[in-house]
Amino acid sequence: MLNIVSILLGLLGLVLAVVGLIPLFGWTNWIWLIVPVIGAGLGQLSSSHKGRNLNLFVIAVMVVRLLLGGGII
């Protein structure tokens, strides 16, 4: 059950990360970064690690976008 919730949070975080890829919306990744972090925590507690891995990927996409934009743009 925790893995399903983790995957759903990962998919929600992925949609929010795509919105954050639009120029001048990169700052929104700071706000939405909490979604995959919570999902990764729930994925770690489950027996399967697919949800955790998805959330770690989403976190990596968001962090790379923040690094490329200088954290603001």
Count of domains for the chain: 1
Within-domain flag for 10: yes
Alpha helices, H only, the chain: 2-20, 28-32, 34-45, 50-68
Within-domain flag for 12: yes
Within-domain flag for 73: no
* Rounded Cα–Cα distance for residues 40 and 53 (Å): 7
26 pLDDT more than 80: yes
Provide the whole-model pTM.
0.90
Within-domain flag for 30: yes
pLDDT for the residue numbered 24? 86
Within-domain flag for 13: yes
pLDDT for the residue numbered 25? 87
8 pLDDT more than 80: yes
Provide the residue range defining the domain that includes 30.
2-48+56-68
CA-closest candidate to residue 3, choices 53, 55, 50: 50
Which DSSP string do the residues of 49-60 spell out, in sequence order? -HHHHHHHHHHH
* pLDDT tens digit sequence for 35-68: 999 999 999 999 999 999 999 999 999 999 999 8
